[in-house]
Amino acid sequence: MLYHAYELNHAALAPLREAVEFNKRYLESPYNPASYTLFGRTAAAACDLFESMTRRYSKPLWGLNSTLVGDIEIAVQERVIWEKPFCRLLHFERSREGLAKAHGKAGWTHPRLLLVAPLSGHYATLLRGTVDAFLSEYEVYVTEWTDAREVPLSEGRFDLNDYIDYIIEMIEVLGPDIHIISICQPGPPVLAAVAVMSEQDNESLPSTMTFMGSPIDTRLSPTTPNKIAMERSFDWFKDNMIYTVPWPNKGIMRRVYPGFLQLSGFITMNQDRHVTAHNKYFEHLVEGDCDSAQRHRDFYNEYLAVLDLTEEFYLQTISDIFQEHRLPKGEFMHRGQLVQPSKITKVGLMTIEGENDDISGIGQTQAAHTLCVNIPQESQLDYIQTGVGHYGVFSGRRFRANVKPKIEDFMLKHFDVKRENHFQKANEPLFFSKTNGHL
């Protein structure tokens, strides 16, 4: 009933939002003398704040239309190269002509990088800054997970086993020697996928895998979300966190963990910070500080856009990753097969953690090194970035200045070649899809 109440509340407020939006435009009009008064600016700011706090935020656009290679601006186009009901693989394809111009000759391209976005409530566009940082020097691919409320019930279930299968298929589509960066939630399933591929001696094994702020072993330095997962029973999560998608969504009748529930939890954890941010936003609007107001909008347009997770995926993650700790205990199963990270021998391993991470504590990501005992030491690296929290590990100033160079150096060192020899010829296929059999 909670999901139905959420939809009903959204629909009931729609006429009021329209009226408030009309009043806002009227109060801000340069032809309205009131717009130049303190009263007019305050009233317009109040309307803006009401509208922003009551509307539903849709999936943001990537907005990455170009990148700089050296001092040459190169066009970038989003292209879907693999797709299934619950995910699609997006390639940020850069102009070949632009690359040829930047490098002074045709026939060269950059290494390939797969960013595995978290499926934990926010859209993959949360990694916009991460993608942008790598675009100038890499062929970047990103997993775009689908909002479960938009997937018809006829498309079937999606659990943690399906997630691992999706990862393996996407790696096979891209072919061998790609670099994988797993950000937060995907850590355990990506590690499991690479372990399964290693045991099968899959020819599409990646060259390196990097885990950033991932819950590999949540028994180490448990954070507030980890403690909540342990304090409550599995049945509590099943009874209180799972709801049925109502009409008019495409996924009507699908059982999900609603994104708005997770969002409310995150906001509650940092309630004072969000209240302060909105108070300052109101003040910026009244003062006419457009730049500060726009920065607030940009952040919350992303932060408040959430998606639903399927019941089976959410509950299996709670049980296997956060309560039973099956992966670090050596008990994690995939399709009846024991997942053994010790089978990984040819893939470089890097782990990155934030000093102030309040989602994945120090040591949780490092645990991957303990599990991957047969990866040579020279092919492993652990790095802790000081002065950042969870999001600072993969975005922001310190990510660009400190974390990104560490990742690049590690990937190049694992190949033991110079950067200029790390390129491929552009006339070779960038990927081969075993799903549809075309180049």
Q: What is the pLDDT of residues 100-120, one digit of tens each?
A: 888 766 556 678 999 999 998
Neighbouring C-beta atoms of residue 285, cutoff 10 Å: 22
DSSP type of residue 201: T
User: Across the strands, what pairs with 131?
Assistant: none
299 and 319 belong to one structural domain: no
Mean pLDDT (whole number) for 29-40: 90
85 and 126 belong to one structural domain: yes
pLDDT band at residue 417 using 50, 70 and 90 as cut-offs:
very low
277 and 321 belong to one structural domain: no
Of 246, 274, 303, which closes a domain?
303
Neighbouring C-beta atoms of residue 53, cutoff 10 Å: 10
Q: What is the pLDDT of residues 194-204, one digit of tens each?
A: 999 999 999 99
354 and 318 belong to one structural domain: yes
Q: Is residue 299 part of a domain?
A: yes
> What pLDDT was estimated at residue 86?
97
pLDDT averaged over every residue in the chain: 89
Q: Which of 25-39, 125-139, 229-243, 405-419 has the lowest mean pLDDT?
A: 405-419
Residue 18's domain comprises 2-56+259-303
8 A C-beta contact, residue 332 and residue 192: yes
State whether residue 210 is helix, strand or coil.
Answer: strand
Domain count, the chain: 2
Strands 309-310 and 333-334, bridge-based pairing: unpaired
DSSP percent split of the chain into helix, strand, coil, nearest 5: 50, 20, 35
Q: Is residue 437 part of a domain?
A: no
Judged against a pLDDT cut of 50, whether residue 438 lies above it is answered with: no
pLDDT above 90: percentage of residues in the chain: 65
139 and 216 belong to one structural domain: yes
Q: Is residue 357 part of a domain?
A: yes
State whether residue 407 is helix, strand or coil.
Answer: helix
Of 303, 322, 339, which closes a domain?
303
Q: Of all helices (H) and strands (E), which one includes residue 3?
A: helix 2-28
Distance of CA 140 to the CA centre of its chain: 14
> What pLDDT was estimated at residue 415?
62
Judged against a pLDDT cut of 50, whether residue 424 lies above it is answered with: no
Q: Is residue 105 part of a domain?
A: yes
> What pLDDT was estimated at residue 104?
67
Q: Of all helices (H) and strands (E), which one includes residue 363?
A: none
Distance of CA 326 to the CA centre of its chain: 23
292 and 351 belong to one structural domain: no
> What pLDDT was estimated at residue 431?
32
Neighbouring C-beta atoms of residue 302, cutoff 10 Å: 16
Residue 132 CA to residue 117 CA, distance in Å, equals 14
DSSP type of residue 301: H
286 and 362 belong to one structural domain: no
156 and 40 belong to one structural domain: no
Judged against a pLDDT cut of 80, whether residue 87 lies above it is answered with: yes
List the structure tokens of 342. Answer: 């010790």
90 and 210 belong to one structural domain: yes
The b-or-e profile of 17-47 (16+ CB within 10 A means b, else e) is beebeebbebbbeeeeeeeeeeebbebbbbb
CATH code (residue 127): 3.40.50.1820
119 and 191 belong to one structural domain: yes
Judged against a pLDDT cut of 60, whether residue 10 lies above it is answered with: yes
Q: Which of 5-19, 85-99, 241-255, 274-288 has the lowest mean pLDDT?
A: 5-19
345 and 288 belong to one structural domain: no
pLDDT above 70: percentage of residues in the chain: 93
What pTM did the predictor assign?
0.88
- Can you give the C-alpha Rg of the chain in angstroms? 23
267 and 393 belong to one structural domain: no
Nearest to 217 by CA among 253, 174, 187: 187
Distance of CA 1 to the CA centre of its chain: 29
Q: What is the pLDDT of residues 161-205, one digit of tens each?
A: 999 999 999 999 999 989 999 999 999 999 999 999 999 999 999
State whether residue 91 is helix, strand or coil.
Answer: strand
Of 303, 337, 363, which closes a domain?
303
8 A C-beta contact, residue 183 and residue 394: yes
